[in-house]
Structure 1
Amino acid sequence: MGFKKMTSRGRAAAIAATVENWWLSKSKADVPVLLMILALLAVSHNVWGVSLLLGEVPPEKRVSLYTAWAVVISLTGTLASVSIGQYVSGRGDRVMLLKKVYGSELSRIWRGTFLGSGLAALLFLIAAVLDARSTVDSYAGIWVFIAAALLAVLKFFRLALLFSRVIGLIVTDDVSPLSPTPIAIDKSYFTSTTSNEGGSQCH
């Protein structure tokens, strides 16, 4: 029974790792995922009558929420900068191999994360403008806000996952390097020292 549980957990972990690797390597997948979620939300709202997020909040109060989200999402750039700094400063064998093989792909992912986060912050501000100028209780600002929030969440999780992978490689290189350079030790020194100590004890 315990072996079956371990096997199922191992398979689940392998599937999760496969999905993570695929998602990390497909930065353009964020847009289709975003559009699919928006379509599902639109169907649930228009067909089944599910209320929208912040739909019950008055427009004048929604504006402050939009601007607060824009400020929070802009901080994602700080995490991206830290991640890039750790990646650039890494000198271990695994990190150097990562730079050599996947350098251009990582650059594209980081660039897409920066642009996506900036676009999300801009969409939050656009949503605030739409609600501030609207004379009726329109849902236009809410839809723009939802799109921005989904985009920001997707980019944040991608960045966080990539950051954890890079940090993991750096730590592994520090703890267990692939090509260690041990300190040169002259073994004859210990042999001669031992023999000299033995000789002095005999005298």
Structure 2
Amino acid sequence: MKMDKKALFKKRLGQIWVETVIYTLIGLTIIAAILAISTPAIDRYKDQLVVEQTLSVMNGFDNTIKEVRDAGSGNRRIIPELMIKKGRIEIDGNAEKITYILEKTRLEYSEPGSYIEQGSMTVYTEKLKSGKFYNINISLSYAGINITNGDKHNKKTLTAASVPYKLSLSNNGTLNDMVWIVIEELS
């Protein structure tokens, strides 16, 4: 009789461990499924917030450039904290254009392939070949303003960083019959 009770106890103990492992695996599978479904939605929401904040920052950047232009030669403004958490800003002295670019996002911010005007900004969403991701471009174009990076007509890229950029915008008079705005990164 004693052997039967021991064998029965071991059998039940083994069954409890098997059930525990099975329930743990089921729980982990459910958690993984929930994460797989919710992660893209969370990423889209985060990118939506980044784009909305960037629109606000770009609008402030545009207002500062126009203030410097309108205040006349020798005027200077400082943008003390230009924070870029995701994406990059390109200051293109050749095209007289400032563009924010957010690459490989799941957010379809506007209709892909269409240029959307939002105030003085142009928003363009490009659908990537994978079909799941998009590139978003937010541009400010300046006709009548000659933008340079320091003394150069080149493209300067400000990438995502943990510390904010500090920029100086100066009105250096006219160059080629256009108001000459110099944008410099301060350290």
TM-score of the pair, normalised by structure 1: 0.23
Larger proportion of strand: 2
User: Relative contact order (alpha carbons < 8 A, sep ≥ 6): 1 or 2 greater?
Assistant: 1
Q: TM-score, normalised by structure 2?
A: 0.24
